[in-house]
Structure 1
Amino acid sequence: MSRLRVTEIFHSLQGESRSVGWPTVFVRLAGCPLRCEYCDTAYAFKGGEWMDVQEIHQQIGIYGCRHVTVTGGEPLAQKEAWPLLVSLCDAGYETSVETSGSLDISAIDPRVSIVMDIKTPGSGEVEKNRWENLSLLSEKDQIKLVIAHREDYEWARKQLQDRQLAEITEVLFSPVQGQLAPVDLADWILQDCLPVRFQLQLHKILWGDQPGR
């Protein structure tokens, strides 16, 4: 039976993506091959509790919620994440996965909504972007760029244009909390008339950096 290392399973409001505001059960898997400068879930790098897929479903079922997000860490770093995603879709959940974009997404069940990062230079992991993944995304998916400063913004704007990201699917620009003032990013987007969605992390506005919220 498939077993995964799980950091936490919790019930909250979706704080990002086009599903923002929906009550959602989050399955945070342990482990990540990246070390982004601004990472806010470093507690998921190691450890975790071994759980099989049935146990994960039992925990999710407690909340009576139809939205489930599998996140990390980097959830795709665990090979058993793939059958977990399939099982969640089979169970009728509206399932999404949040991934760094550094690993191959080709085997993700087509019913799953993918929220994929493109790492900016400010992350310290820009060389890990797997650009081949862009051709695997569809309109149900989203691309997210986390912006730490003006240099990140200019780099992201160039990728948006050169790679025609907005022609692939919806693109999100989000400021790094505590590093870039949200109003600055909002003003830049408006000044340049970028075809992107400005995003703040709703859960951080409500609960700060509390794990499990």
Structure 2
Amino acid sequence: MESTGKTPALKVSEIFLSLQGESSRVGLPTVFVRLTGCPLRCVWCDTAYAFAGGQTMSLPAILAEVTVAARDVGRVCVTGGEPLAQAACLPLLSALCDAGHSVSLETSGALDIGQVDARVARVVDIKAPGSGESDRNRWQNLALLTANDELKFVLKDRSDYEWARRLIEERQLAALCPLLFSPVDDDLPAATLADWLVADRLPVRFQLQLHKILWGKLRGR
């Protein structure tokens, strides 16, 4: 965590208004606060530009920019990178909630989510083997999940799918919170994953990244 004087500060990659592209909130206008930095290096990562760079901003400065961007919207998603890699992410989340926003957090699942403000909806990844980072999954997080949270699997191939299917059954994940399955762009055809889900009747929500369908890989959308 950096600080500006005595005020906590964060390294911010970008702040922008768009449509939520994933999760149960898909399609809703949302302000995104993308924080810089991530300790993971998933082979299919689509936000590698957030690994470094950005600008240092104080909490009041972030809140002020979000207030303007979120006018008549009221929804904020803190994402990355891995936002929890910055200690000041925790007070940022609480401050956004205090300001009256409906707040969600997108996190890799590799770091402890236990200190996240209870008002925040946590969208937690479970990294499949095809990501190259499955050994970083923090399984202790599963015991902290509530019905307000979501677990997200990004799947590269049939092997990833079978791994996730077994995990859901063995750990009874559907009883914890909603589950999301997404295909990796250019590796797993969306229709193929959809066919597998239908055939196996899995208790998951199939999702595509709406923002990429609309705008491709354009930043800030």
TM range (shorter): over 0.9
Q: 1:174 aligns with which of 170, 176, 182?
A: 182
Whether 1:121 and 2:121 are equivalent positions in the alignment is no
TM-score, normalised via structure 2 length: 0.96
Q: Secondary structure at the match of 1:15?
A: coil
- 1:55, 1:18 → 2: CA distance? 29
Displacement of 1:85: 0.2
Give ranges in structure 2 of 5+ residues lacking alignment: 1-6
Whether 1:138 and 2:149 are equivalent positions in the alignment is no
Displacement of 1:61: 1.4
Which one-letter code corresponds to 1:135 in the other structure? A
Displacement of 1:164: 0.7
- 2:138, 2:67 → 1: CA distance? 34
Displacement of 1:131: 0.3
Whether 1:94 and 2:97 are equivalent positions in the alignment is no
State the 4+ residue runs in structure 1 displaced beyond 6 angstroms: none
Q: Secondary structure at the match of 1:40?
A: coil
Which one-letter code corresponds to 1:29 in the other structure? L
Whether 1:32 and 2:38 are equivalent positions in the alignment is yes
- 1:164, 1:47 → 2: CA distance? 40
Which one-letter code corresponds to 2:28 in the other structure? W
What pairs with 1:44-63 in structure 2 (closer than 5 Å)?
44-63=50-69
Q: 2:158 aligns with which of 123, 131, 150?
A: 150
TM-score, normalised via structure 1 length: 0.99
- 2:44, 2:218 → 1: CA distance? 16
- 1:61, 1:206 → 2: CA distance? 25
- 2:75, 2:167 → 1: CA distance? 31
The match for 2:4 is none
- 1:86, 1:198 → 2: CA distance? 30
- 1:159, 1:16 → 2: CA distance? 22
Q: 1:18 aligns with which of 16, 24, 32?
A: 24
Displacement of 1:47: 1.3
Q: Secondary structure at the match of 1:115?
A: strand
- 2:168, 2:33 → 1: CA distance? 30
Displacement of 1:176: 0.5
Displacement of 1:66: 0.3
The match for 1:201 is 209
Identity %: 58
Whether 1:5 and 2:11 are equivalent positions in the alignment is yes
Which one-letter code corresponds to 1:104 in the other structure? D
Q: 1:104 aligns with which of 108, 112, 115?
A: 112
- Count of aligned residue pairs for this structure pair: 213
